[in-house]
Structure 1
């Protein structure tokens, strides 16, 4: 299976870009990371099928999003399903004065013909203590 360090680094860079654009509330930067046929499920269970649905939701929600502190994203495990398809487990942490909270997204990413890795499917899950 794929163990190309360049692919792993490119995937980690996409996750780092998710962090950067979320912090900056950069809607278009976030949307640029998605495959046109993407499927996305939010941490609260909203299912978004296709780029248009993801874009409509993101444009409505991200600019008004608020959190006390900062958010970090870290790719903690990459499993190649094929040479051009990877499942990526992400640690998402919201740091605030009230304490940290976590999410645990799973991204399915596909490598495009031009070599870019895009988010093709995602499931974000809020982590509850206990």
Structure 2
């Protein structure tokens, strides 16, 4: 379900690639159940609200929460993350809308809840990182 990405503001091709790489790394970490790699996509002081409504503050808290979740109730959950919109909030700060489509372990179509996420990704000294965001589970395909 790859679709055209709506770009609002001046978002260079290089920035698009950097931001997309963060989203792809997050997807890969989720699908391989690697909490450390997942946590590395977040800034050390990030604020994240997950799909069950739990707010987590800081990379350490995000990683510590994710480890048992990925090995437990999310162990059979896989998804494809498609960017649908990039909004330049300020120089070096991009709001990213992402649709999460359920897949099986091989990336094929699967039944399950879809996700709609908003990531605020900012350029930090250690690279582009998610500084804030929210993930929302939806029971019908996200638009």
TM-score interval for Structure 1 and Structure 2 normalised by the shorter chain: 0.7 to 0.9
Report if the CA contact (8 A) 1:27-1:63 is conserved: no
The 5 A counterparts of 1:1-130 are 1-64=9-72, 65-67=74-76, 70-95=78-103, 99-113=111-125, 116-129=127-140
* Distance (Å, rounded) in 2 between the aligned partners of 1:12 and 1:111: 13
TM-score, reference length from structure 2? 0.80
Q: CA RMSD in A?
A: 2.0
TM-score, reference length from structure 1? 0.87
The runs of 5 or more residues in structure 1 that have no matched partner are none
Report if the CA contact (8 A) 2:102-2:110 is conserved: no
* Distance (Å, rounded) in 2 between the aligned partners of 1:18 and 1:8: 15
**Matched residue SS, 1:107:** strand
Report if the CA contact (8 A) 1:95-1:101 is conserved: no
Give, in angstroms, the shift of residue 21 of structure 1: 0.9
How many residue pairs get matched? 128
Q: Which runs of 4+ in 1 moved over 6 A?
A: none
The runs of 5 or more residues in structure 2 that have no matched partner are 1-8
Q: 1:129 to 1:80 in 2, by over 3 A?
A: same
Report if the CA contact (8 A) 1:2-1:82 is conserved: no
Report if the CA contact (8 A) 1:37-1:51 is conserved: yes
